[in-house]
Amino acid sequence: MKSYILIIQLCFITSASLLGQTQDIVKTAGITSELHRANIGKICFTSKSVPLSDLRESDFLKTYILTNKSDLFINVFLGNSITNYMHLIAPDLNADELAKSGNYQFTLFVDDHLIYESNLSPGAPYREIKDIATTLIVPLINNKNEGWYLWSQYFWMRFMNNGGGSVLTEGKHLLNMEIRPYVNAATGVKTGNIIASGSLNLDVLMKPVIDITKISLTPVRSYNGLELSLGGFNKNLIKTLIGNINQGVFKNISSIVVLKDGKLLIEEYFNGETRDSLHDPRSAGKSFSSSVAGIAINDGYLKNEDQALKEFYTVNKYDNFSSAKENVTIKDLLTMSSVFDGNDDDGNSPGNEENMYPTVDWVKFVLDLPVSVTRPKDEWHYFTAGVVLLGDILNKTVPGGLEKYADQKLFNPLGITNYKWQYTPQNVPNTAGGIRMNTLDFAKYGQLYKNMGKWNGKQLITAAWVKKTFTKYKPIPGRQDEFYGYLFWNKTYIVNGKPYETFYCAGNGGNKIFIFPDQPLVIVITATAYGAPYAHSQEDKMMTDYILPALVK
């Protein structure tokens, strides 16, 4: 009898333990609609975002024509929140630990073949959403607003770059999607069962037929400081490029301007932009601080680029002092090779620019940073905060401050009068980037370098500084035959088997100013594909397949 009672007690304890493991760890929004209740465990596709309160079964797609301009949303109906699903597979972790170590796993199949699977970063969506949300209405493709729920769009972009673009050929396909929870636990990645799935029949039409007879080139008009070129180029190739931009093959392009022999050859605008539009080039604006540094050295306000930080700051009053830090030079900042532990390509880096922007003093943020103990000495690393420090050095060194000095010495002589700086919390021009100009003024800036620093017969930047700027000081890690000069990038395009080297300014979204040392060309592309992984790769294709072939023999 006692043995029987003991068995009953053990069963009760075991059952209670199992129930405790499956009990919700956070409170969710619950299931609040009949539509949700009827579709638990399903992924339904729509062509637009519809609020849950307005969503109807009739909105769900069975088949869909997928073009370069199509939008595609997923409506996910879950029986619980992702946090509670993660708790089922990692019951020993609390809610905070789950939020930091797990998320949704998205998987896509095309024609019943697994194409791409991704464990989404724990940081997206936000912790609050992961805890309470039992529905997700997010875009896979949203051409009208790529900044909204970018994490879900990133997944689709990665899918397209990792096999999706190859298998979604023209014609009919079946797209299947599955969602599971995952947790990166001490013993490895644990993946749960499917919590939602869905399918959609696609008719893919992503290679538009471009009728160039219906496309006209914009007649070039005179502009302050730029004469009109009478040179020829392959107009049909440029028309084809324009057609592909208009059809969404190349996305979020704002403008293309080409100068040949210093004269205006091509000027095209897209997506509502005009020659008067001021474009935000993001980090392409970093290069302007390199220009001002060269001018300040020539004027004697800086001795040379080998001056160290200790000549401008009492470095030992900041956190993490070291002699290596106070001996960082202006050249180290210009070539992004300083010893600071800062790398914008590493989300965990203490000096990542995203950690700087919320602070009240960006210069203090930089000077407080520790020295890296893991990165090889003098290795290139993308370090926006270092360019902010360079801007502060210039601001405190040149007469009247950086803004006035740059206007007098650089912009005004170029005839650039309509531009807008962004500013740091100390109201210093933000040399991290974002100085807004129209495309033609960006082109004039590029032509200044093509002219070896001369404009209208006046030497604004010394030829020696341009040569230093266009020196391949640092190889870019992970990129073949790409280099970095003084806040200018370097690469070589191959067109029809021939190399075309360029030094260029580059910024988020696909903003670039190209200067070709061996060709009479300056090319500017502005774009607003901010944060999109395709931003730069699509422009490389534009350059190699259309723009350069249209211009070079």
- The DSSP string of 121-151 is -TTSS-HHHHHH-SEEEEEEE-TT-TTTTHH
Q: Could you count the other beta carbons within 10 Å of the beta carbon of residue 81?
A: 24
DSSP string of 191-242? Answer: E----EEEEEEEEE--SPPP-GGG--PPPP--BTTBPBP-----HHHHHHHH
Phi, psi of 402 (to 5 degrees): -60, -45
Across-strand partners of 189?
184
Would you state the pLDDT for residue 265?
98
Would you state the pLDDT for residue 148?
66
Q: Could you count the other beta carbons within 10 Å of the beta carbon of residue 345?
A: 11
Dihedral, CA of residue 528, residue 531, residue 534 and residue 538, to nearest 10: 30
From the list 384, 406, 382, the residue with the least C-alpha distance to 394 is: 406
| Angle, CA 225 vertex, CA 223 and CA 226 arms, to 5° | 60
From the list 491, 533, 507, the residue with the least C-alpha distance to 387 is: 507
pLDDT of 166 over the 90 cut: yes
Q: Confidence band (pLDDT; 50, 70, 90) for 22?
A: low
pLDDT of 17 over the 90 cut: no
Q: What are the sequence ranges of the domains in the chain?
A: 24-204, 212-282+435-551, 302-397
DSSP string of 65-87? Answer: EE-TT--EEEEEE-SS-HHHHHH
pLDDT of 20 over the 50 cut: no
Distances (CA, A) of 448 to 61, 131, 207, 221, 288: 54, 55, 39, 20, 12
Residue with tokens 């940073």: 369
Contact call for residues 367 and 328 (beta carbons, < 8 A) = no
Would you state the pLDDT for residue 410?
98
Phi, psi of 264 (to 5 degrees): -75, 115
pLDDT of 364 over the 90 cut: yes
Residue with tokens 């040149």: 398
Q: For domain 212-282+435-551, give the CATH number.
A: 3.40.710.10
pLDDT of 10 over the 60 cut: no
Phi, psi of 34 (to 5 degrees): -65, -35
pLDDT of 189 over the 50 cut: yes
Contact call for residues 47 and 72 (beta carbons, < 8 A) = yes
Instruction: Report the C-alpha gap between 380 and 374 in whole angstroms.
Output: 13
Q: Is the peptide bond before 91 cis (omega within 30 degrees of 0)?
A: no
Specify the range with the lowest mean pLDDT, choosing from 58-67, 310-319, 412-421, 528-537. 528-537
Q: How does pLDDT run across 491-536, given as a tens digit for each residue?
A: 999 999 999 999 999 999 999 999 999 999 999 999 999 988 899 9
Average pLDDT over residues 214-230: 96
Instruction: Report the C-alpha gap between 68 and 273 in whole angstroms.
Output: 20
Q: Could you count the other beta carbons within 10 Å of the beta carbon of residue 300?
A: 7
Would you state the pLDDT for residue 32?
86
Would you state the pLDDT for residue 275?
97
Contact call for residues 330 and 307 (beta carbons, < 8 A) = yes
Q: Confidence band (pLDDT; 50, 70, 90) for 553?
A: confident
From the list 455, 431, 428, 448, the residue with the least C-alpha distance to 524 is: 448
Contact call for residues 427 and 440 (beta carbons, < 8 A) = no
Would you state the pLDDT for residue 149?
75
Instruction: Report the C-alpha gap between 367 and 360 in whole angstroms.
Output: 14
Contact call for residues 35 and 56 (beta carbons, < 8 A) = yes
Q: How does pLDDT run across 105-160, given as a tens digit for each residue?
A: 999 999 999 999 999 999 999 999 999 999 999 999 999 887 767 899 999 999 99
Contact call for residues 26 and 84 (beta carbons, < 8 A) = yes
Average pLDDT over residues 211-219: 98
Distances (CA, A) of 212 to 3, 235, 257, 459: 89, 10, 20, 43
Amino acid at 75: N
From the list 212, 274, 268, the residue with the least C-alpha distance to 243 is: 212
Amino acid at 251: K
Structure tokens at 144: 């009208």
pTM: 0.90
Would you state the pLDDT for residue 146?
79
Would you state the pLDDT for residue 14?
35
Residue with tokens 């979020």: 252
The chain-wide mean pLDDT, for the chain, equals 94
Would you state the pLDDT for residue 144?
82
CATH of 302-397, one of 1.20.58, 3.40.50, 1.10.10, 1.10.3470: 1.20.58
pLDDT of 2 over the 70 cut: no
Dihedral, CA of residue 168, residue 242, residue 141 and residue 165, to nearest 10: 20
Q: How many residues belong to the chain?
A: 553
pLDDT of 19 over the 90 cut: no
Phi, psi of 263 (to 5 degrees): -120, 155
pLDDT of 8 over the 60 cut: no
Residue 160 exposed, middle or buried by CB count within 10 Å (0-12, 13-18, 19+): buried
